[in-house]
Amino acid sequence: MTSLVITVLISALAIVGAGTLLARAGDVIAARTKWGGVWVGSVFLAAATSLPEIVTDISAVRLGAPDLAAGDLFGSSMANMVILAVVTVVPAGTQLFQRATLDHALYASLAIVLTAVAAMSVLVGGGPSLLGVGGSSWLLLAMYIAGSRVVFRHSALARHTAETIEMSGGPPAAPPGEAPQPASTPSLRRALVMFAGGAVVLVVAAPAFARSAQGIAEATGLGATFIGTWLVGFSTSLPELVTCLAAVRMRAYDLAVGNLFGSNAFNMAVFPLLDAVSPTGPVFSTITATHAISALVAIGLMGIALAALVYRARGRLSLLEPSSALILVGYVLGLALVLINGRR
């Protein structure tokens, strides 16, 4: 047991370091391409910081632990909203909701809808498969691509017309559609090298992390579903935490909010990849129904965050502290429900 814990700690640190490196490199790459902050955070940066989930979950599925992988994806979506609650209480993040643009409502809605489809798929199964991928997984991928295209077109239109839609009605924190950038931005070539290096570290560390997490689940009797939702889900979300804290310090609020909602949407688009590598068929047909609880909790937490974003932006009584408290309480209660139902 001691060796398993040590392996989890070392591999988790490696995953966090690699994920952070990937996030920073992805931010530079996106800045060099002149994309807007919302698009960068919701798609490019979200995909970069979600690489730990992808590599870890592929390893878990190949090891025959699909519950660990599914728990990680839903648990990471829950943890991302906890990160949002934490970021809003630090001094640099007190104006996070006030500075967020309307585009985030689109991606938050997309993440909620995708998670709802995934929750239903957990209960009814993945449906007929095509090329080894379940019908529900294909639907999630198609919806993610279509939704991302809508956000991209909306952001491109806003940049083209030089208009930034501020939900709070206040002045923009940066030029329309763009996040503040450091005075000296690394070159694109250097960013690509950083990205490749982080990917190599993930490929090495993630399988060890998955094996150790599965061993802890078996040794403690807590079950792969709970371990995936709590331990693996929170650990693989640490890159989002580091990235968001760095973004709010730079006053790049769109990057911070977009990264979290975008990561939740991206997590649901990972299921087709898991189906493709699964030796036992589509993941939704093999995992336990307890994951529907995790998905519903994630939906509730995202709903609270989105409501706080809109309500605060309209200039009414600030719901920042109450919403953060509700998210934290909801996360703890959600974990308790997953643990209780996973032992039945």
Ranges of beta strands (E only) in the chain are 129-130, 133-134
> Token pair of 218, please?
């078996």
Average pLDDT (303-310) is 86
Report CA torsion sign: 205, 207, 210, 213: negative
Angle at 25 between CA 22 and CA 31, to 5 degrees: 135
pLDDT at 103 over 50: yes
Q: Out of 1.20.1420.30, 3.40.50.1400, 3.90.1150.10, 3.40.50.300, select the CATH number for domain 2-342.
A: 1.20.1420.30
Residue 317: its pLDDT value, please? 45
Q: What is the pLDDT of residues 69-96, one digit of tens each?
A: 888 889 888 988 988 888 877 765 566 7
> Token pair of 61, please?
């599925």
Higher per-residue pLDDT: 43 or 193:
193
> Token pair of 310, please?
């809109």
Where does residue 51 rank: exposed (0-12), middle (13-18), buried (19+ CB within 10 A)?
Answer: buried
| pLDDT band at residue 229 under the 50/70/90 scheme | low
| pLDDT band at residue 289 under the 50/70/90 scheme | confident
pLDDT at 43 over 60: yes
Nearest to 118 by CA among 305, 283, 335, 330: 283
User: Is residue 100 helix, strand or coil?
Assistant: coil
- Backbone region of residue 326 per phi and psi (left: phi > 0; alpha: psi in -120 to 50; beta: other values): alpha
